[in-house]
A and B are shown apart, each in its own frame.
Chain A
């Protein structure tokens, strides 16, 4: 398939979607999602480099979570293609771990912490294989990494918000994936949990994994992430945090919702 010959004075340098992909952990091409007649995400192209700590940033209602869920096929896409490590999404699904928003499940569900983490081993356990000692040990090790090993036998309803979030992260760790997609992992958690989570995420990056978070706290972006995707229904900007997380781009993303006084106080790339 040839490229189009039309060369307009556009923001050139953008590689055609078909060619790129080798090094990208997650690549979205022209993804549109709509609830009813209004696009929640419009024609977003994105390319999350492998081994990066990336964040999707944008105001409330900008379609950040929708973008993530549509990439995972949890909500239907109107158009668009998703590629994971150069492969179509379906074939690469086993390389992805997903951490949903805490509030998306009923925490009164009758189950224990360890059982939730074992859910991360679903691929390995399948329908009928018994949970063996090594599975339990693997699950416990994941709980240990998030500092929740002592809670393994607890009922999940007894956990605090931060503890719930850590359990979800432990479940994702149990999946042993290469790409971790987290939906608002820091929303409504205590400071200790936030610290614990970011430590785990950083260790993932050190282990050559890729992390992509939907993130809402602008103050921590520069400290936590090296790649950012700014969205507000459409993609506003994407690239290394150092060059992309700028006052201009933030203003373009948040519009009137972010007073310039606020931006001045933010920690921006030097």
Chain B
């Protein structure tokens, strides 16, 4: 079979039970991570997940040691995940405690917890390597994830875990959306913001722990952050960001797992992250409203609008146009000649600009409401603020167009 064939086979869940379960699990996990990470991202706490993820490592080590001391195998996935959840929780609480109780900011707290916990984790791993049973423990796979040679029951744990995390997102999405969007309003509505924050962190913790085996603790952070950031380019509404991020995360997880299953050399975690990053890059540049390309075009248009307007007002006031860009714009529009003398069209447009200024002046005297004053920014055409009748009324006050050099 070619690689494409194997990829398609994996994509259709035909590449064996384990591969299918892993792909499903990765897809479900991706959805849960994308949606859960969105809440974190909107709360501007994306990198808390980095601390949580790195803080799982000592738990994995301790769980292994404890299980071996109790006479077990030490490699039981549920046991290791439980250990990781406990130490991640401690790490999370420490981040919050340091940020609240000391003068250190949250970023310092995150960095300290992640590096120190990770360091302790590494120490434990070297301890385990010296244990008689530690040689084949394979705990290093938690660093980068590994689905090669995964046991059937481990795959089930991941698929079920992914499903549970997704269920939690579905149940909690309303209150979490409210809190992420506007915590004060949410509090005023009687929501327990602290409790919901805690639930949000619990969800992130769950996703991290389940993701350990597939993508590893360093890259699970990517699954929590990248889809949320990507989704932000496509919509401004919180609920939609959650949906889009979930979809993007699911696609990345599923595609990445299938790709990895189709070629033995491709590690699952990195490929999932790179798929997500590819989607991010596409969105960064091409998204219709917030994408870079659209923003550049819009900014350029806006800049030209400002300069055109300023140039016309300068012409109207009989001032010299000095700004080189303004001169270029006016010349290109045929408003001035090469020697900076206004053309017929230029005079007419300048007169219209001046007349609009007068109209605004009157309008601001007549209408005291802020809706109108707030729009007086030099660019908003008065026609978009007042009705035709209102403008006609203003024109009556101004009187006949007393403009030299052509009618408006």
Q: Is B302 an interface residue (CB 8 A)?
A: yes
Q: Is B277 an interface residue (CB 8 A)?
A: no
Nearest chain A residue, comparing its CB with the CB of B103: A108
Known: A8-B354, A8-B403. A256 touches B318 (CB 8 A): no
Q: Is B321 an interface residue (CB 8 A)?
A: yes
Interface-located stretch among A34-42, A169-177, A213-221: A34-42
* Residues on the A chain within 8 Å of B314, using CB: 4, 30
* Residues on the B chain within 8 Å of A137, using CB: none
Taking a contact as CB atoms under 8 Å apart, the answer to whether A17 and B310 are in contact is no
Taking a contact as CB atoms under 8 Å apart, the answer to whether B370 and A39 are in contact is no
A29 to B322, CA, bound (A): 10
* Residues on the A chain within 8 Å of B57, using CB: none
Taking a contact as CB atoms under 8 Å apart, the answer to whether A17 and B405 are in contact is no
Known: A1-B340, A30-B314, A79-B323. A42 touches B364 (CB 8 A): no
Residues in B307-356 with C-beta less than 8 Å from chain A: 307, 309-310, 313-323, 325-326, 340-342, 347, 350-351, 354
Taking a contact as CB atoms under 8 Å apart, the answer to whether A9 and B404 are in contact is yes
Known: A8-B354, A79-B323. A42 touches B318 (CB 8 A): no
Q: Is A205 an interface residue (CB 8 A)?
A: no
Contact with B along A62-104 (1 / 0, CB 8 A): 0000000000000000111100000000000000000000000
Q: Is B389 an interface residue (CB 8 A)?
A: no
Taking a contact as CB atoms under 8 Å apart, the answer to whether A9 and B325 are in contact is no
Q: Is B368 an interface residue (CB 8 A)?
A: yes
Nearest chain A residue, comparing its CB with the CB of B313: A43
Q: Is A7 an interface residue (CB 8 A)?
A: yes
Q: Is A188 an interface residue (CB 8 A)?
A: no
* Residues on the A chain within 8 Å of B342, using CB: 4-6
Known: A232-B373, A234-B376, A256-B368. A4 touches B309 (CB 8 A): no
Q: Is A233 an interface residue (CB 8 A)?
A: yes
Nearest chain B residue, comparing its CB with the CB of A234: B378
Instruction: Report which residue of A3, A6, A18, A251 has the largest number of chain B beta carbons within 10 angstroms of its beta carbon.
Output: A6
Q: Is A10 an interface residue (CB 8 A)?
A: yes
Q: Is A255 an interface residue (CB 8 A)?
A: yes
Taking a contact as CB atoms under 8 Å apart, the answer to whether A43 and B378 are in contact is yes
A5 to B343, CA, bound (A): 11
Taking a contact as CB atoms under 8 Å apart, the answer to whether B354 and A79 are in contact is no
Known: A43-B378, A233-B378, A256-B370. A4 touches B320 (CB 8 A): yes
Taking a contact as CB atoms under 8 Å apart, the answer to whether A78 and B322 are in contact is no
- Interface range for B: 35 or more
A78 to B301, CA, bound (A): 12
Residues in A226-265 with C-beta less than 8 Å from chain B: 232-234, 251-252, 254-257
Residues in A123-147 with C-beta less than 8 Å from chain B: none
Nearest chain B residue, comparing its CB with the CB of A106: B105
A116 to B373, CA, bound (A): 41
Known: A42-B378, A43-B378, A255-B369. A8 touches B322 (CB 8 A): no
* Residues on the A chain within 8 Å of B306, using CB: 32, 34, 39, 42-43, 78-79
* Residues on the B chain within 8 Å of A30, using CB: 310, 314, 323
Instruction: Report which residue of A8, A78, A108, A252 has the largest number of chain B beta carbons within 10 angstroms of its beta carbon.
Output: A8
* Residues on the B chain within 8 Å of A257, using CB: 370, 373
Nearest chain B residue, comparing its CB with the CB of A59: B373
Q: Is B167 an interface residue (CB 8 A)?
A: no
Taking a contact as CB atoms under 8 Å apart, the answer to whether B376 and A16 are in contact is no
Q: Is B298 an interface residue (CB 8 A)?
A: yes
A219 to B321, CA, bound (A): 39
Taking a contact as CB atoms under 8 Å apart, the answer to whether B320 and A78 are in contact is no
Known: A16-B320, A255-B364, A257-B370. A4 touches B354 (CB 8 A): no
Cβ distance B372 to chain A, nearest Cβ, rounded Å: 7
Taking a contact as CB atoms under 8 Å apart, the answer to whether A233 and B377 are in contact is yes
Known: A10-B354, A252-B365. A4 touches B303 (CB 8 A): no
Q: Which of A8, A32, A34, A78 contacts B318 (CB 8 A)?
A: A8
Instruction: Report which residue of A10, A12, A108 has the largest number of chain B beta carbons within 10 angstroms of its beta carbon.
Output: A10
Taking a contact as CB atoms under 8 Å apart, the answer to whether A3 and B316 are in contact is no
Contact with A along B374-408 (1 / 0, CB 8 A): 00111100000000000000000000001111000
Cβ distance B306 to chain A, nearest Cβ, rounded Å: 5
Nearest chain A residue, comparing its CB with the CB of B361: A252
Taking a contact as CB atoms under 8 Å apart, the answer to whether B317 and A39 are in contact is no
A37 to B297, CA, bound (A): 12
Taking a contact as CB atoms under 8 Å apart, the answer to whether B318 and A4 are in contact is yes
A31 to B320, CA, bound (A): 15
A81 to B325, CA, bound (A): 13
* Residues on the A chain within 8 Å of B318, using CB: 3-8, 10, 12
Taking a contact as CB atoms under 8 Å apart, the answer to whether A6 and B340 are in contact is no
Known: A1-B320, A2-B340, A4-B315. A233 touches B307 (CB 8 A): no
* Residues on the B chain within 8 Å of A256, using CB: 368-370, 373
A-side interface residues toward B, CB under 8 Å? 1-12, 14, 16-18, 29-30, 32, 34, 37-39, 42-43, 78-81, 108, 232-234, 251-252, 254-257
| Other 18 A-B pairs with CB < 8 A, given A7-B318, A9-B404 | A1-B320, A3-B318, A3-B319, A4-B314, A4-B340, A5-B318, A7-B404, A8-B317, A14-B317, A14-B319, A43-B309, A79-B306, A232-B373, A252-B364, A252-B365, A256-B368, A256-B369, A256-B370
**Can you list 12 A-B contacts (CB < 8 A)?**
A5-B341, A6-B350, A8-B318, A8-B351, A9-B402, A32-B378, A79-B303, A79-B307, A79-B326, A233-B376, A252-B361, A255-B364
The 9 A-B residue pairs with the shortest CB-CB distance in the complex, in nearest-first order: A255-B373, A42-B378, A256-B368, A233-B377, A10-B317, A39-B377, A43-B310, A256-B369, A7-B318
